[in-house]
Amino acid sequence: MAMDGRTLAARIRSEVAEEVRVLGGVGLATVLVGDDAASDIYIRRKHEAAEAAGFRTLDLRLPATTGEGELVERVAELNDDDEVDALLVQLPLPDGIDEEHVIRAVDPTKDVDGFHPLNAGELLLARPGLVPATARGVMALLAEYRIELDGARAVVVGRSAIVGKPVAQLLEQANATVTVCHSHTQDLARHTLDADVLVVAAGRAAMISPDMVAIGATVIDVGINRTSAGLVGDVDPGVADVASHLTSVPGGVGPMTIACLLENAVRCARARRG
Ligand code: NAP
């Protein structure tokens, strides 16, 4: 069965729009440094979705020559701006800017991406507040399709702070037994074949082939890879013949990320208004 992220994301976005209306407006600010084409597309999509849901938005664009000190100052101004409930700095940042310093500069209560160490720590301690949107999107899809997680064997391929780690923590908090694989994992298939639920976030086109997936497994493909054949995921489409549930790329996790980002922004606004 194809897991349809578009339909679920549309439903979440309309619920978000209603909450924004009830709250009397929510302010979302984004900061983009430089002119990376992919980042520009991601920022535009976030703004389109936010505006459609009735957010007030601020799209701050800074030149690629912006220094770390100046960027941190601009973030501090947005932290102090009462009109801004939620704030993100689009990654990756140009060379010469330490992403860690910039992430730490964002007020944790406005950290709509959930990347600040305080929010990452709360998640680790199973007190999730602002959780990275892609990880929440994965969990929302699993819930929508009523995939049993309690006692399930879950395998996550990828251990980044923005996808793999938070997904693994949420799966563990849902009582799955979780294995995290990465680029040093020996014999990846030995692990993936053991999965009832397989989440792949490695950024390697079609790296998971049908012979790496157990019959009847649920497979969530987070990967987005630009190839000569267009956008493809980390999972070979032939896995559909083996898996019981599979997300598509595009149309799976991608739309969920934006919808869950907007949900996080509403969370920021609610928390700031007590
Ligand atoms: P990342 O920071 O580059 O992390 C990739 C992870 O995959 C790393 O932990 C890496 O291991 C692991 N890895 C790489 N090659 C591997 C291999 N051959 N076998 C096993 N593990 C391997 O990437 P990311 O930011 O997490 O993103 C992952 C993918 O998801 C990308 O395609 C990205 O575009 C996509 N993405 C999609 C969405 C969405 O909304 N759908 C959102 C975010 C990201 P090491 O730690 O050992 O290096």
**pLDDT of 117-145, one tens digit each?**
999 999 999 997 899 999 999 999 999 99
Q: What is the pLDDT of residue 128?
A: 77
253 lines ligand 1 (CB under 6 A): yes
Q: What is the pLDDT of residue 253?
A: 98
Rounded to whole angstroms, the Cα distance separating 13 from 266 reads 11
Q: Identify the residue whose C-alpha is closest to ligand 1 atom 1.
A: 160
209 lines ligand 1 (CB under 6 A): no
| Residue of 140, 159, 161 whose CA lies nearest to 149 | 140
Q: What is the pLDDT of residue 274?
A: 84
For a pocket test of ligand 1, which of 12, 221, 224 has the largest count of ligand atoms closer than 8 A to its C-beta?
A: 224
User: Which pTM was predicted?
Assistant: 0.97
Rounded to whole angstroms, the Cα distance separating 110 from 124 reads 19
For a pocket test of ligand 1, which of 183, 231, 248, 253 has the largest count of ligand atoms closer than 8 A to its C-beta?
A: 183
Ligand 1 centroid from CA 158, angstroms:
5
222 lines ligand 1 (CB under 6 A): yes
215, containing H or E segment: none
Ligand 1 centroid from CA 67, angstroms:
27
- The answer to whether the Cα torsion of 231, 232, 237, 239 is positive or negative is negative
Pair 194, 155: CB distance under 8 Å: yes
Q: Locate the ligand 1 atom nearest the alpha carbon of residue 253 and give its number.
A: 41
* Active site residue ranges: 46, 90, 113
Q: Which two tokens stand for residue 145?
A: 């399709």
Q: Identify the residue whose C-alpha is closest to ligand 1 atom 47.
A: 183
| Residue of 158, 223, 168, 217 whose CA lies nearest to 193 | 217
- Where the chain has pLDDT below 70, the residues are none
**pLDDT of 4-47, one tens digit each?**
999 999 999 999 999 999 999 999 999 999 999 999 999 999 99
Q: Identify the residue whose C-alpha is closest to ligand 1 atom 48.
A: 183
Q: Which two tokens stand for residue 116?
A: 């600040």
Q: Identify the residue whose C-alpha is closest to ligand 1 atom 31.
A: 203
Q: Identify the residue whose C-alpha is closest to ligand 1 atom 16.
A: 183
